[in-house]
Amino acid sequence: MIKDYLGLAVRSMSHRQKRSWLTIIGILIGITAVVALVSLGQSMQRAVNKQFQQFGYNLITIYPGGLRGSYRGPYSATFELDTDLIASVDGVEAVEAMLYKSAYIRGGEPPDEIEGFLPVVGLSPGITKVFSQFKLEQGRFFTETDHYTAILGQSVPKDLGIGVGEQVEIEGQAFEVVGLLAESGLGNNNSGIFIPLEALWEILGDRGKVSMVWAKVGQGYDAEVVAERLKAGLKEARGKEDFTVQTIEDLQKLIGQAIGILQAFLGGIAGISLLVGGIGVMNTMYTAVLERTREIGVMKAVGAKDSHIMWLFLIESGFMGLVGGAIGTALGLGMDILAVVITKRFIQTNVLEFGISAWLVIGALAFSFVIGALSGLLPARSAAKLKPVEALRYE
Amino acid sequence: MNSLRLAAGAGPSGRALIELREVWKTYRMGKVEVHALRGVSLAVAEHEFLAVMGPSGSGKSTLMHLMGCLDLPTRGTILFDGADISSLKGSELAEIRGRQIGFVFQTFNLVHTLTALENVELPMIFQGAPRASRRARAVELLERVGLSDRLQHRPNELSGGEQQRVAIARALANDPKIVLCDEPTGNLDSAAGMRVLESLRDLNEEGRTVILVTHDAEAAGYARRRVQMRDGRMVEAAEEALR
Ligand SMILES: Nc1ncnc2c1ncn2[C@@H]1O[C@H](COP(=O)(O)OP(=O)(O)OP(=O)(O)O)[C@@H](O)[C@H]1O
Ligand SMILES: [Mg+2]
């Protein structure tokens, strides 16, 4: 039956091609915008998830600042933390720390000497055990016995004119450059200099201070459970909760939520254009009912019930929605692909990871059909309610 | 010719197929009331061929719409096959129109986006007939009215006479007991009109009840009974013998 009605609907639409297409375009634009934005959000999410997977889910991050909100980013606050206590917690395999500072740097040979402030990051020597993706492009990492050694961020050689094997002066202390970090080895500190944590404490006289601590969870332990234990232990020892314990999963959820909110917000705005598209469908259908009043009368005379007429018009408007939705979905996904390609080319980091989600496609198609059908509801009802004789007399 | 006859039983039975008792139809236009029918009583038996005659505005079309269950009377009773149509729901009236009645209009009233074949199929779609049997019957009906070479033509590609023959084929789609015609020859020349009237006579001869609204005496001559209307009243109901 639906098939027969669809046939009738297609006949009357193809008879009014221009208007049908214009109506379809109204829906199409809305669906394109919604699909593009949602798909973009998903691509962002995918890229984030991939990065987290690289981190591994067995990592717990501890940073200063109590309840969420008071925290001002990993690099602005420091605190003293009893790393031995953390290491003693059941399930913690290794504890590594980082201190982020800004320090006075001097590099290069006179007369090409350059000086100024650069971020200097103190790292505990075992840091590579928790960050497997901490990769060097050149040279080697610190050993346990290294002290005045430095690893340069990717862009430092260019900025300072020094390289591996040369010397760099940090707060008046000479350091030997032993390695060059691969791109974005740790955070996005391409312009920072990395030295052993002990050495940084020494030259700044800031012993014991850290910006962030990582605890690696041993095999077979649940990171969430270990994190809870860690939190309880720290709270008891410190007497207050002036720190945050976060698992990678927590962080992932948090970022996922942020992306979700952004997606909902943008999607909502795009949804307004869908509303406009829906009104377009309604307008077209009201016009169609008016134009086809006599035809409706004829159909009723040959036995069509109100419900038949209703379905006829609903299927027609739903079909227009569906066609708009199908094209719009394809265009929206195309725009996402374009965004992925462009960001890959110009930003060169994988902030987007393309993929087609089946529920997005199905959801968009179903939604566009429903929008079309809903917009056609009132016109279809007015068509169904026409009195046969009056419809037949209509000129 | 009679391959399609059916539906209507064999011989005349006494019971009226359609009966109108003191039927009034009043249209209200603002404050003015227009009485299109002023107490019409009429009984149409099965297998009749009835002509309803009368001048323009006398209420013929209004009467036909009521007999065809397209509208309900303002006052009075209309019995269709024994049932009071005022007590029926809209969907039940649609059911009667779809299964028991075929309409032929002066202006043909074909759906202009559909081909001749599809127009004939249309009433069967609303009865839920399967596609294959529907198509076969539509082809058969169009053959019967001599349009087997016009199946894929749209109404605007057909002459008036051809369009009216498509309309007759469509009226027969669901094998109705009654065929109601409102000035079917009004827009046709005399040759095409004659052909239509002859088809109507064939339909009656195969057992269907035919009601023909016309102001053309010659057309009315094809009927076996004639009634005359004036100002919403039945003025004359002269029974006539079979020619
Ligand atoms: N919907 C309506 N609203 C108001 N008046 C109407 C309506 N339909 C019919 N009438 C009036 O009812 C009267 C009878 O109309 P009807 O169409 O039945 O006449 P008719 O005998 O078929 O005329 P014709 O031969 O010209 O077709 C006319 O005076 C007409 O103006
Ligand atoms: Mg009339």
CATH number at residue B206: 3.40.50.300
Instruction: Say if residue A346 is in the same domain as residue A270.
Output: yes
- Helix or strand or coil: residue A80? strand
How many angstroms is it from A187 CA to the middle of ligand 2?
86
Within 10 Å of residue B236's Cβ, how many Cβ atoms?
12
Helix count (H) and strand count (E) of chain B? 7, 10
> Which amino acid makes up residue A134?
F
Most informative mutation of B20, B60, B71 for ligand 1 (most atoms within 8 A of CB): B60
Residues A93/A226, Cβ–Cβ less than 8 Å: no
In a domain, A97, yes or no: yes
What number does the ligand 1 atom closest to the CA of B55 have? Answer: 25
Total domains in the fold of chain B: 1
What is the Cα–Cα distance from A178 to A199, expressed in whole angstroms? 15
B68 interfaces chain A, CB cutoff of 8 Å: yes
The SS3 of residue A227 is helix
Nearest chain A Cα to B109, which residue?
Answer: A298
Domain shared by A156 and A290, yes or no:
no
Q: Pinpoint the alpha helices (H) of B80-176.
A: 90-100, 116-126, 131-144, 160-171
pLDDT at A91: 87
CB–CB contact A388 B103 (8 Å)? no
Inter-chain residue contact B109 with A301, CB threshold 8 Å: yes
Neighbouring residues of A372: CB distance < 8 A, sequence distance ≥ 6: A27, A278, A281, A317, A318, A319, A320, A321, A322, A324, A325
For A249, residues 6+ apart whose C-beta sits below 8 A from its C-beta are A57, A223, A224
The DSSP letter of residue B12 is -
Which of A145, A131, A146 has its CA nearest to residue A98?
A131
Q: How large is the greatest C-alpha to C-alpha distance in chain B, in angstroms? A: 53
> pLDDT, tens digit, for every residue of A12-39?
888 889 999 999 999 999 999 999 999 9
pLDDT tens for chain B, 243 residues long, are 344 433 333 334 457 899 999 999 999 988 999 999 999 999 999 999 999 999 999 999 999 999 999 999 999 999 999 999 999 999 999 999 999 999 999 999 999 999 999 999 999 999 999 999 999 999 999 999 999 999 999 999 999 999 999 999 999 999 999 999 999 999 999 999 999 999 999 999 999 999 999 988 999 999 999 999 999 999 865 444 333
Residue A298 lies in a domain: yes
pTM value is: 0.75
Nearest to A162 by CA among A171, A172, A173, A150: A150
- Please compute, for residue A324, the number of CA atoms within 13 A of its CA located in the half-sphere on the CB side: 34
d(CA A187, CA A248): 14
Q: Smallest Cβ distance to B128: which of A1, A15, A302?
A: A1
- Closest residue by Cα to residue A321 from A7, A10, A24: A24
- Residue B29 within any structural domain of the chain: no
What the block records as the tokens of B24 is 């009034």
Same domain, A101 and A213: yes
- Distance CA(A230)–CA(A95), nearest Å, equals 12
Chain A residues whose beta carbon lies within 8 Å of the beta carbon of residue B91: 305-307
CA–CA distance, B160 with B188 (Å, rounded to integer):
6
Number of Cα atoms under 13 Å in the Cβ half of residue B135: 7
Q: Which domain holds residue A213?
A: 59-218
Give the distance between the most distant pair of CA atoms in chain A: 102
Does one domain contain both A334 and A374? yes
Number of domains in chain A: 2
Q: Is residue A354 scored above 60 in pLDDT?
A: yes
What is the number of the ligand 1 atom nearest to the C-alpha of B60?
Answer: 21
> Cβ(A162)–Cβ(A107) under 8 Å?
yes
Range of the domain at B67: 47-71+90-239
Give the β-pairing of A209-210 and A79-80.
antiparallel
**Domain annotation covers residue B211:** yes
Proximal ligand: closest to the CA of A391: 1
* pLDDT score for B10: 36
Q: Give, for B178, the enclosing helix (H) or strand (E).
A: strand B178-182
> Are B6 and B68 within 8 A, CB to CB?
no
Q: What share of chain A is helix, strand, coil (3-state, %, to 5)?
A: 55, 20, 25
Query: Which residue among A1, A4, A306 places its CB closest to the CB of B90?
Result: A306
Q: Could you tell me if B38 and B232 are in contact, meaning their C-beta atoms sit under 8 angstroms apart?
A: yes
Does the beta carbon of B95 lie under 8 angstroms from any beta carbon of chain A?
yes
Residues A46 and A74 in one domain: no
Q: Cβ B114–A294 below 8 Å, yes or no?
A: no
Q: Specify the pLDDT at position A189.
A: 64
Alpha helices in A121-211 (DSSP H): 127-130, 156-160, 197-204
The encoded tokens of residue A278 equal 């829906």
For residue A125, say if its preceding peptide bond is cis, omega within 30 degrees of 0.
no
- Span A110-163, pLDDT tens digits: 777 788 888 898 998 888 777 766 778 888 888 888 889 999 888 888 777 888
Q: Residue A193: exposed, middle, or buried by beta-carbon count in 10 A (0-12, 13-18, 19+)? A: buried
Indicate whether A65 and A209 sit together in one domain.
yes
Instruction: Indicate if A25 and A168 belong to the same structural domain.
Output: no
pLDDT value at A373 more than 70: yes
Q: What is the pLDDT of residues B31-52, one digit of tens each?
A: 999 999 999 999 999 999 999 9
Are A101 and A48 in the same domain? no
**d(Cα A230, Cα A209) in Å, to the nearest integer?**
19
Do A49 and A66 lie in one domain? The reply is no
Q: Find the A161 Cα to ligand 1 centroid distance in Å.
A: 101
> Which residue puts its alpha carbon closest to atom 14 of ligand 1?
B59
> Which region, left, alpha or beta, applies to residue A117 given φ > 0 means left and ψ of -120 to 50 means alpha?
beta
Query: How far apart are the CA of A300 and the centre of ligand 2, in A?
Result: 18
* Contact assignment for B91 to A306 by CB distance below 8 Å: yes
Of B108 and A252, the structure prediction assigns the larger pLDDT to: B108
Domain end position, chosen among A195, A218, A241: A218
Same structural domain for residues A160 and A301?
A: no
Q: Which ligand 1 atom sits closest to the C-alpha of B54?
A: 21
Q: Give yes or no: residues A36 and A110 share one domain.
A: no
Q: Quick check: is B1 in a domain?
A: no
Residue A301 with chain B: CB contacts under 8 Å: 68, 70, 97, 103, 109
Pairing of strands A243-247, A92-107: unpaired
3-state SS, residue A134: coil
Decide if A208 is inside a domain.
Answer: yes
Chain B residues in contact with A306 by the CB 8 A cut-off are 90-91, 94
Q: Which amino acid is at B113?
A: T
Per the domain annotation, does B82 fall within a domain?
Answer: no
**Helical pair A358-384 and A306-346, crossing angle rounded to 10 deg:** 150
Q: Are residues A104 and A151 in the same domain?
A: yes
CA B60 – ligand 2 centroid, Å: 6
The alpha carbon of B89 is separated from its chain's Cα centroid by a whole number of angstroms, namely 21
Question: CB–CB of B97 and A302 under 8 A?
Answer: yes
Q: Is the pLDDT of residue A247 over 50?
A: yes
Which residues lie closer than 8 Å to A116 by C-beta, 6 or more apart? A104, A105
Task: Specify if B185 maps to a domain.
Answer: yes
Among residues B169, B181, B171, the alpha carbon closest in space to that of B63 is found at B181
Contact B103 A306 (CB under 8 A): no
Mean pLDDT over all residues of chain A?
A: 86
